Amino acid sequence: MARRPDPGESLRLEFFEERGYVRKRCPKCGEYFWTLDPDREVCGEAPCEPYGFIGGGLSRKLTIEEAREGFLSFMESRGHTRIRRYPVVARWRDDLFLTSASIVDFQPYVTAGLVPPPANPLTISQPCIRLKDIDKVGLTMGRHLTIFEMMAHHAFNRPGQEIYWKERTLELFHEYATRVLGIPEEEIIYKEGWWEGGGNAGPDVEPIVRGLEIATLVFMEYKVTDGRYEKMDTRVVDTGYGLERIVWLSQGTPTAFDAIYGSLTDAFLDRLGVRRPDVDLLNRYSTLSSLTAKVERGSKLRELRRAIADQLEVDPDELDAALTPLELAYSVLDHTKTIAFMLADGLVPSNTKEGYLGRLVIRRALRAIRALEAEVQLAELVDLQLNYWGRQFPELLEKRGRILDMVQLEEQRFRETLQKGLQLIERELKRRKGKGLTLDFLMELYDSHGVPPELAADVAKRHGIELEVPDNFYELIAARHEAPEVKPPELPKYVEEVEALPGTELLYYEDPYALRFEARVVGVLGGEAVVLDRTAFYPEGGGQPSDIGFLRLEGGGALEVVRAEKVKDRVIHYVKGDLSRVRVGDRVEGEIDWPRRLSLMRHHTGTHVLLESAKRVLGDHVWQWGAQKGEKESRLDITHYKSVSDEELRRIELLANQIVMENRPVRTKWMPRQEAERIYGFEIYQGGVVPDLTLRIVEIEDFNVQACAGTHVRRTGEIGPIKVWRARRIQDGVVRLEFSSGMAAVERLLEAYDRVKRISMVVGSPLEKVESAVENLVSENRELSKRLTAALERLLEVSIRESSPAEVNGLELRVVPVDLTDRKALTDAADSFARSNPRAVLCLLGGSGQRQVVLAVGEEAAKRGVHAGKLLSSVLKRVGGRGGGQERMAWGSIPPEVTPENLAEEIAEELRSL
C-alpha cells in the first residue's frame, strides 16, 4: 500500500497564522491541533479532556429547527445554493444501501468530475444513518446515534473553475461559529486529521469546542485505488457539521437526547416506564463519561462506569440500576426516529439488502422495549416520532398510515419469531450437546431465523450453559450487511477480440419498429458469431431477451441469429449456419423476428405501466426488485411488506388497463445524468443504477418515467390488455406479479374462457350460473366427505376395540391395519385409546399400502420406559421406514411390502429388550 500523504504541511494555512493560532501536538492522543492559547497542552477533545459544556451550554440556546435554519440561511447569505435532502435509502448508489454522509449524495460521479453538481457551491442538511455504532447508542449519552443530520457546504473545484478551497472553508466555519452560534473564538480549537470514504480521501480539520467535535472540514483531493493515493482533477470541499452536537453544545443538557428531542424525551420515558435520574448526578456522570469517548466496546464502558461511580461517590450498583433503563429508553428514542425515516423513504423490512438493516433496527428497538418490560406498542412510539418531526419533514406524515402498518406487522412477526425461536434454540442445544455455541452460532441464528442472541443466552442458561453475547453483537451483524456484496463481473466471451472492432450503430433505438436493415460485417468471432457495423437486433439486457431472426448473405443463403449480446458498445450476433464463407466487409441483410419483438416491446412497456400502477395502489414504497420480460408471459418483482390482496390486485389491473386504453404517448430521449436526476428524482432507477453519464429516459406521459435501455411501443394503446395471472410472495418483502400483455394476454384469456365453458358443460349449468353450480357441487362433496370420514372414524374405533392384543412384558401390544388416511383422525383415536388403557402399546397402519404409521403408548407403558418416538424410530429404521415423535405419541411411514405381522414382530422384539 502506498504511503498516505502527510496532512500537516497542507494545513499550515494563512487562516491560522493571521489570527495568531499556534500549532501544537497533544501529548495524550498524539494529534496536532491549532489553538489561540499558547499555554494549552492538550487538544481539547474528549477524552483528552472532559466536556466543558454540560450544565451550561452557549449563550444562545438553539432547537434543532433553529440550528438547521440558522446554518442553511448563513450559507445561503455567503453564496451557497440550498438544496433539498436526499433519501436515507441510497437508491442512486450500487455500493451502499444507506446514506451515511452528505458527500454520499454526490459520489462517485460528481466528486469524480464526470457529472456537474446540482449547484456549486451548495448547502444541505442531510439526514444520515450509520449502524456501525448501534450498540453504543444510549450508553454514551448521545455521542453515538444511528440517525443524525449532517449539515454541510460543498464546493467542487474543477480545472479552470475554482470555487473555494481550504482558506475560505475555515473562514466560513469560523464566521458561522462565532457570529451565528456565539462561540468565543478563543474557545475554538482546530484539530488536524485525515479522512477517507467512498474511494476518496484528503486532510481534514476538526473544530473542537469545550471537548466536543462539532464539525469535520474535509479537503477531498485524492482518489484511493488499490491502496494508492492519486490526485483528483476535481478537488472537493466536503464539510460535515453535526446538527445534533451543535444543539447539544448550545443547550448544555445532560444528554444529547434531551437537546435533540425536547419534550418527546419525557413522553418516551413516561410510556416506557423509566424514571429520570437526578439532573445533577446525570450532569456529572455525562461530563466524566466523556473521558471514555474513544472506548469502542460497551462492556468496557460499563467497567469504567464503576470507576466513575467512585468519583461521584455513589454506589456502582445503584448507578447501574438508575442508568441502564435510561440507556435502553434512549436507544428506543433514537431507533424509532431511524425507523420513521427509513420507512418514509421507501425501505421495506425484509431479510436482504437495505430491508435487512431496517429490520435489524426495528428488532433492536423491540428487544429494548422487551427488556424494559414496557406495555407499549412500537407503532405508538414511531407515531410520536412522526408527529414530532412531521412539521419539519412533511413527507413523514404523508406516509404515516403505511409506516405504522409496516411497524405493526414487523412487531407481530417479531413475536412469532420469539415463539419459534424458543423451540429452535432448545432443538439446537440438544443437537449440539452444549458444544459449538460460538459467536458464529449466534449470528447464524439471527441471520437465518431472526432469533435475538439474548433469547439464546437465556435458554442456554436454563440448561446450565453459559453463552456469552458480545456487547457489540448488532454492530457485527450490521457490518455484514451494510453494503451490497460485490462480485467480480463475469467477463463476456470475446471481450478482448471486440476491442479492435468499430462500435455498432444501434438501429433499434432509432426505430424500434424497423423489421429489416442492411449492414456490413466488421468481425467474425470463433466460427459462431459476427459483429456488424449497424444492427436492429436488440441484445439481451435489462430483463429483456435478445431478438432473434436471420442474416441474409450477399451470395445467397442465410444465418439464423439465435442470440445477440452487447460487449463494449459492440453487438455480437451468435448464429447457426456456415460462417466459413463470411468475410469482413461482406454486406448482409438482417431481418428480426417481428412477432417476437413486438410481443417483447408490449411486455416491456407493460412492465412500466404495471409497476407504476402497483406504486399508486400499494404505496410509493413499492420498488422494482427484478423483472424478466417474456414473449408469452413476463414477471415483475416488487418490494411490498405483505401479500397483495385480491382487491388490491384488481385495482392494479384496472389502473394499468385504464392507462392502456387512454393510449398515452411513450417517449424516449437521452439526457445528462444530473439533469435526469434533478427533474425526475431517483425513482428513474427502478431497474437498478445505470453506470452511464448519459441516460436513456422512457416516459409514459404524466404517469411513469424510468431510465431504461429496452425497446418500447410508441403509445400505451399498442400494449393491448394487461392481465396478471398470479401475485405471490417469493421472499420476505418481495411480491412477484406474473402477467401477459397484448395477444399473449388475449390468447390466455380465451383459453380460460374455453375452460369455463367446458366446466359449465360438465356441471350441467348455463355459463352465467357456473360459479354457483360449482360452489354447490364443492359444498355437497365436502358434506359427503365429512360423513364418510365420520363413518370411517367409528369403524376405526371398532377395529381397535375388537383387535386382539399380544402380551409382551406385561404390556398389551396391538398392531391394527385400517383404511383411514387422515392423520389427525388416526392420532386422536390412538391417543384416546392409550389414555383409557394404561398398559397399551397401540400401532395403527393407515391408508392404501398401509404406509402411514401412528404409535401411542399408555401411562403405565411410559412409566416402564417405553418412549413412543424412540421406539418407532428404532423399529422403522430396521424395516426401511422412518419415524419419530414424543414420549407418548409418534408418527412415521413404512414401505408397502412391510406387513402388519412383520411390524408387530419388530415392535414386540423391541419391547422385550427394555
CB 554 within 8 A of CB 542: no
Q: Are 561 and 549 in contact (CB under 8 A)?
A: yes
C-alpha of 528 from chain center: 42
Enter the C-alpha cell of residue 196. Answer: 477517507
Q: What is the mean pLDDT of residues 836-854?
A: 85
Q: Which of 248-257, 438-447, 712-721 has the least mean pLDDT?
A: 438-447
Q: pLDDT at residue 801 above 90? A: no
Cell 443437537 belongs to residue = 431
- CA-wise closest residue to 7 among 34, 38, 32: 32
Grid cell listed for 379: 407503532
Of the candidates 75, 266, 69, the residue with the CA atom closest to the CA atom of residue 149: 69
Backbone angles phi, psi at 44, to 5 degrees: 95, -10
The identity of residue 726, as a single letter, is R
Name 202's Cβ contacts closer than 8 Å, sequence gap at least 6.
7, 194, 195, 218, 219, 220, 221, 222, 236, 238
What gap in Å lies between CA 40 and CA 210, rounded to an integer? Answer: 13
**Which residue's entry shows cell 411410559?**
862
In this structure, what DSSP letter does residue 99 have?
-
Cβ proximity of 670 and 697 under 8 Å: yes
Q: How many CB atoms lie within 10 A of CB 859?
A: 14
pLDDT band at 243 (very low <50, low <70, confident <90, very high): very high
Cα-based distances in Å from 769 to 650, 766, 775? 22, 5, 10
Q: State the virtual CA torsion across 419, 425, 428, 429 in degrees, nearest 10.
A: -140
- Distance from C-alpha of 318 to C-alpha of 204, rounded to nearest angstrom: 42
From first CA to last CA, the distance across the chain in angstroms is 70
Residue-wise pLDDT for 568-579, tens only, equals 889 999 999 999
* Nearest Cα residue to 668 out of 627, 623, 713, 628: 713
The answer to whether 107 and 64 are in contact (CB under 8 A) is: no
Query: What is the arithmetic mean of pLDDT over 854-868?
Result: 93
**pLDDT of 598-655, one tens digit each?**
999 999 999 999 999 999 999 999 999 999 999 999 999 999 999 999 999 999 999 9
What's the mean per-residue pLDDT of the chain? 91
In the predicted model, is pLDDT for residue 874 greater than 80? yes
860 in Cβ contact with 839 (< 8 Å): yes
Query: Is the model more confident about 108 or about 156?
Result: 156
> Which grid cell is 92?
442512486
The span from the CA of 650 to the CA of 392, in Å, is 37
Residues 6+ apart with CB under 8 A from 260: 64, 142, 244, 247, 248
Residue 882 grid cell? 422412518
How sure is the predictor about 850, in pLDDT bands with cuts at 50, 70 and 90? low
Q: Scanning the structure block, which residue is given the C-alpha cell 418500447?
A: 712
Q: What 8-state DSSP symbol labels residue 788?
A: H
**DSSP state for residue 630 in the 8-state scheme:** -
Average pLDDT over residues 152-171: 96
pTM score: 0.83
Burial of residue 763 (CB within 10 Å: 0-12, 13-18, 19+) is: middle
Q: Residue 211: pLDDT band by 50, 70, 90 thresholds?
A: very high
Q: Model confidence over 455-475: pLDDT tens digits?
A: 888 888 887 787 778 888 888
By three-state DSSP, how is residue 463 classified? coil
pLDDT band at 453 (very low <50, low <70, confident <90, very high): confident
> Which 8-state DSSP code applies to residue 906?
H
Q: In this prediction, what percent of the chain has a pLDDT beyond 90? A: 65
Taking only the tens place, the pLDDT of each residue in 396-437 is 999 999 999 999 999 999 999 888 888 888 887 777 776 667
Q: What is the pLDDT of residues 482-535, one digit of tens each?
A: 777 666 667 778 888 888 999 999 999 999 999 999 999 999 998 899 999 999
Q: Are 612 and 719 in contact (CB under 8 A)?
A: no
* Lowest-confidence region among 91-95, 300-304, 608-612: 300-304
pLDDT band at 225 (very low <50, low <70, confident <90, very high): confident
- Rounded to 5 degrees, φ, ψ at 419 are -65, -45
Distances (CA, A) of 674 to 92, 104, 106: 11, 15, 10
Most confident of 652-661, 678-687, 812-821: 652-661
Average pLDDT over residues 155-172: 95
707 and 650 in contact (C-beta within 8 Å)?
no
Please list, residue by residue across 143-169, b when 16 or more beta carbons sit within 10 angstroms of its beta carbon and e when fewer do.
bbbbbbbbbbbbbbbbeeeebbbbeeb
Helices in 113-235 by DSSP H: which ranges? Answer: 166-175
Residue 1's pLDDT is 45
Spatial strand order of the sheet with 634-639 comes to 624-628, 634-639, 734-741, 722-731
Residue 301 scores a pLDDT above 70: no
Is the per-residue pLDDT at 40 higher than 80? yes
Q: Output the pLDDT for position 592.
A: 97
Whether residue 445 is predicted with pLDDT greater than 90 in this model: the reply is no
